[in-house]
Amino acid sequence: MKQNESSVTSLVSAFARAYHSQYDTPKIFDDFIAKDLISPEEFSRIRENMIQGISFFNQEIAQKFQDHPNEMLKWITQVQLSPTPLARAAFCEKVLLNEVMLGVKQYVILGAGLDTFCFRHPELENRLEIFEIDHPATQKFKRKRLADANFQTPSHLHFVPMDFTNTFSDQSLLDEGFDNNKKTFFCLLGVSYYLTKKELSSLFNHLFANVPPGSSIVFDYADETLFEEKGMSNRVENMLKMASAGGERMQSCFSYDEMENMLEKAGLLIYEHLSPTTINERFFSDRSDYLTAFETIHYIHAVKK
């Protein structure tokens, strides 16, 4: 991953969260800080790129809204960009806040990008140590964004530069003050698709080898229909094409039994599983806009025995 690639990926994700926070009602996940990490020029540029690319996503919509660019942007953002990032973040943070009440002391975010949890929950400063793991280029980019927006990095936020998809380094975490004896919550969102099954299994084993029982993880994964399901307005197929065009081809999908067996080998039990239908009912019901749960994407909360 190059500096520029990491910047674009994290910026587009932040754009989707910022757009939702500012323009969508009701809120699925309100990241009211995301907009502070994107300059007005970048927001405008991403907006224009999305609108100009409407024909790639849907020719009919491009024609229908050719004189209404804001409606084009709303369609692209709500149909293609936002559903999974918003709902999985909402699920993850609800589980995390409950786990903190149950004694979790450490939160490890794998592939943090421009995550803003630490700044949205200052009340946890003395209760939760937060470790953000991501590619060194992405973290350098984020640090600059925080500085530009005049955010002070609090003492309980630890940056751990690491390409964890290649080789996970326990020592890098320990050097930042991570304690293997404390109950820990891990977050792995938007990552599993890009790893081979062997790499994902190895990562689970690494993460939970030394932490105490009761430690847990929330992650999303694609089911076995990933490479066959086209989805509403071909959005699943478009997701695969965009990933390939961006140089990060989606590699893995799993049946529920396959995922359950992989977690079992790492000493984990599935505590909660959300299918696309369940996700739709929980996060997208009673809406009058385009937002609906993504086909093929599931969420899991798994706990170490």
Q: Break the chain into its structural domains and give their ranges.
A: 3-81, 83-304
Percent of the chain with pLDDT over 90: 91
pLDDT of residue 167: 85
Confidence of residue 7 (pLDDT cuts 50, 70, 90): low
CA distance 214 to 185: 9
pLDDT of residue 129: 98
Q: Which residues of 43-68 are buried (b: 16+ CB within 10 A; e: fewer)?
A: beebbeebbeebeebbeebbeebeee
Q: Share the mean pLDDT of the chain.
A: 95
- Give me the mean pLDDT over the 131-144 stretch: 94
As beta bridge partners, residue 222 has 297
Q: Which residues of 201-226 are buried (b: 16+ CB within 10 A; e: fewer)?
A: bebbeebbeebeeebbbbbbbbbeeb
pLDDT of residue 130: 98
The domain made up of 83-304 has a fold known as Rossmann fold (3.40.50)
pLDDT greater than 70 at residue 24: yes
List pLDDT tens digits, range 74-128.
999 999 999 999 999 999 999 999 999 999 999 999 999 999 999 999 999 999 9
pLDDT greater than 70 at residue 64: yes
pLDDT of residue 165: 85
pLDDT greater than 80 at residue 6: no
CA distance 67 to 71: 9
List pLDDT tens digits, range 221-241.
999 999 999 999 999 999 999
Of 161, 152, 209, 217, residue with least CA distance to 186: 217
Percent of the chain with pLDDT over 70: 98
pLDDT of residue 1: 47
- Give me the mean pLDDT over the 135-161 stretch: 95
Confidence of residue 49 (pLDDT cuts 50, 70, 90): very high
pLDDT of residue 248: 85
pLDDT of residue 259: 98
CA distance 273 to 267: 17
